[in-house]
Amino acid sequence: RENSSENILSSANRLLLHEGRLTLAESTRLLDVYLFLFNDFLLITKIKRNKKKYGGSDTGLIPVCPSLTPELQSFIRDGGFCMVLDQPIPLDRLILKNVDPV
């Protein structure tokens, strides 16, 4: 039987175009998020810091994906992680608007 949802999450053609921190303004609070812009969708993650510190000198040896920014690599080595906040937003459904800072 053919599995039609086989490649939904992993695509050989997917490219990471940009990543970085952003402050998301929710109704009554500001939320630090980390965005991943791929060529087919936008992924918004919440920055989480692990409360438990990992001791020892081997924390710098934790393998981290080399394509990530040095800032994110360092954050992950310190025990932090990014948790997906909501469903990925397909770029063909994304609308961008300029908003005055006022």
Counted domains in the chain? 1
Q: Would you say residue 95 lies in a domain?
A: no
70 pLDDT band, cuts 50/70/90, is confident
Per-residue model confidence (pLDDT) at position 1: 44
Q: Would you say residue 8 lies in a domain?
A: no
Residue 57: pLDDT over 50: no
Q: Would you say residue 56 lies in a domain?
A: no
Q: Would you say residue 10 lies in a domain?
A: no
Per-residue model confidence (pLDDT) at position 8: 55
Alpha helices in 11-99 (DSSP H): 70-77
Query: Which residues neighbour 50 within 8 Å (Cβ) at sequence distance 6 or greater?
Result: 78, 79, 80, 81
Residue-range definition of the domain harbouring residue 22? 16-51+62-89
Q: Would you say residue 70 lies in a domain?
A: yes
Per-residue model confidence (pLDDT) at position 66: 66
Q: Would you say residue 37 lies in a domain?
A: yes
Q: 25-51, pLDDT tens digit by residue?
A: 888 888 889 999 999 999 999 888 776
Q: Would you say residue 72 lies in a domain?
A: yes
Per-residue model confidence (pLDDT) at position 42: 93
